[in-house]
A and B are shown apart, each in its own frame.
Chain A
Amino acid sequence: MTIIKVENLNKTFKVKQKEKGLKGSIKSIIKPKLNEIKAVKDINFSVDEGEMIAFIGPNGAGKSTTIKMLTGILYPDSGSIEVLGINPTKQRKKLSYEIGTVFGQKEQLWMHLTVYDNLKFFGAIYDISERETEERIKELSKLFDLQEFINTPVRNLSLGQRIRCEIVAALIHRPKVLFLDEPTIGLDPVVKENIRKLIKRMNNEYHTTVFLTSHDVSDIEKLCKRVIIINNGQIVLDDSMTNLKYHYLDKKVIEVKLKKKVDFNSVDGIKVLKSKENNLKIEIDTKKTDLTTVLRLIDPENIIDINISNTPLEEIISQIYRKE
């Protein structure tokens, strides 16, 4: 069942321009100059129930603008959006009961209140009865391991604990779709991994559709089966994670430690990435030359150590961003 349906969506921002210096400042008061920036250009996509989708792109690509239009915060210029059959622009309040949002860079919790009081507050604003809120708090605090600090004011929590609470607060009204905007930003690797596990567990337990944006490739790789890449306001890729890796795996990286230096510069399809004394890091374009041919160029007796790896997903995504 389709949960999110976006068709021909467009959004343009008017940004004030000012010439340099005092003269420019005065001129901008008398005759303000506005530049139109097309943040989102004619995008189309749909998301099915229970899917965990990564919506990624470089800074300024249009991903946050899209999320804000999907959640009813921004009005689109043209095109249509349906989230659970609701038009976010016209029925923003109705939609808010069905979705949850977590913004890693912006706290939605009350800093001076305890975690418990915050969750009770969110229960009240979503019109959930006292009894049901208590049950939900019990259930979610167990799932997200909040018991230890449930009576601590939010301002005294660590960032990792706070993000866990932010997610729980967004889930208190059992939303059908959860929008996560960079939920692991600023967290250490262990806490990041913990948060990912919890999001996965939540998706399994409640079958909540997750719409995730993140600059952390591990978030995307470990959580999502499908990825949409947006750049300059346009969707440049909408595919499964497996296909993304498969189609872009035409490059291999060899790191080799040799007894005597070998020159690869003249070989077509090989790019020397790093060369320090007898240590080499080369990238092989398997469309131009195969791995066996390259390995034949190195005398096995000359090898001290060798490591062959795929191009990291981060590099693949960067290449797509750069349109390589």
Chain B
Amino acid sequence: MKKYLYIYKSEIMSSLQYIFNILLNMVGYTVLVFIFFNLWDYIYEDASQLINGYTKNQMIWYIIVTEMLWQASGARKLCRKICEDVRGGNIAYNINKPYSYIGYVISSHLGEMTIKALITIIVGIIFGMIFLNELPQISLIGIIIVLISAFLSILINTILVTAIGLLSFTIEDASPIYWLYSKVILILGTMFPMEFFPKIIQTIVRFSPIYAISYGPARLFVNFDIKNAVVILITQMIYVGIALGISNILYKKGVKKLNVNGG
């Protein structure tokens, strides 16, 4: 475990070298949240109106949190990196080191994303406070639980995207699968809470990783409830286990097929 913490720490040190790029990325995040702010502001007639159980402020905070989680996951970058590692043979230079490749990828990616996640949280909160003037009603313990849930959400997303990237061992290019994955999460998780969809879709979302990645932590933030928190945290931990299992199977099967060009 110590070595993975060192990989994580080294990646944080490394990412501090391009902090300006991270700050530039925040422009995209702010613009997106601003568009949704105006959209919901237009749809809601007044602040007390409820649509599918959500007030206008809750709805906007939901978007701020889900988009924050997606940005802080850096999923597209991770998938592209693994696909290139597998196709280009770079994975070979990580295989002969005394660590697990999956452990390396996860700790290194989380390290790379830490600064970005912190900046996104700050920008998101500032945005919410400027445009909505208030935080959702949540205690300090609630905030700590939401932060744990947010971390688990990013972790699950990272491991699942690692698994998608590892599909490159078999299908050469896993980016179309990633594209599909990201769009499903965007529509069914990031943009709208599951209560906005028909019953059948709600059931699908409830039993899919979208619940653990997007809906769960965002719902907790906008409408904290300890019972719900327990369910969400347990679900997330189960998903961490499942995702790790899938990644390990794909890696073990794939690495036997590795075909690295010679020199």
Contact = CB atoms under 8 A, between A and B. Distances in A.
Interface of A: 13-14, 39, 59-60, 62-65, 68, 71-75, 92-93, 95-97, 99, 101, 103, 105-106, 108, 110-113, 117, 121, 124-127, 153, 181-182, 213
Interface string B237-263: 000000000000000000010111111
Interface string B1-23: 01100110010011101100000
B131 interface: no
Contact of B10 (A73, A113, A213): A113
Contacts of A96: 96-98
A117 B90 CA distance: 22
Interface of B: 2-3, 6-7, 10, 13-15, 17-18, 90, 92-93, 95-99, 256, 258-263
Contacts of A92: 95-96
Given A73-B92, A97-B98, A108-B93, A124 B260 contact: no
Given A181-B263, A213-B263, A73 B96 contact: yes
A103 B262 CA distance: 12
5 contacts: A59-B263, A60-B262, A63-B263, A75-B258, A124-B6
A178 to B, nearest CB: 13
Nearest first, the 5 closest Cβ-Cβ pairs linking A and B are A64-B262, A124-B6, A64-B263, A112-B14, A112-B17
Given A75-B256, A125-B3, A125-B99, A68 B13 contact: no
Contact of A73 (B3, B13, B95): B95
Contacts of B96: 71-73, 92, 95-96, 99, 101
B95 A39 contact: no
Nearest to B104: A125
Contacts of B18: 112
Contact of B6 (A65, A106, A125): A125
A117 B10 contact: yes
B142 to A, nearest CB: 36
A74 B10 contact: no
B262 A65 contact: yes
Nearest to A185: B263
User: Most B CB atoms within 10 A — which of A59, A68, A126?
Assistant: A68
Given A14-B259, A68-B92, A75-B258, 10 more contacts: A13-B259, A68-B260, A92-B96, A96-B97, A97-B98, A101-B93, A110-B14, A112-B14, A113-B14, A181-B263
Contacts of B17: 112, 153
Contacts of B14: 110-113
Nearest to B5: A124
B3 A106 contact: no
A63 to B, nearest CB: 7
A117 B14 CA distance: 10
A181 B260 CA distance: 14
A110 B92 contact: no
A106 B260 contact: no
B37 to A, nearest CB: 36
A60 B263 CA distance: 7
A14 B2 CA distance: 39
Given A121-B10, A125-B6, A125-B98, A73 B260 contact: yes
A111 B261 CA distance: 24
Contact of B98 (A13, A126, A182): A126
A237 to B, nearest CB: 19
A108 B6 CA distance: 16
Nearest to A173: B98
A181 B95 CA distance: 16
A124 B256 CA distance: 28
Contacts of B261: 64
Nearest to A97: B98
A62 B263 CA distance: 8
A253 to B, nearest CB: 31
A125 B7 contact: yes
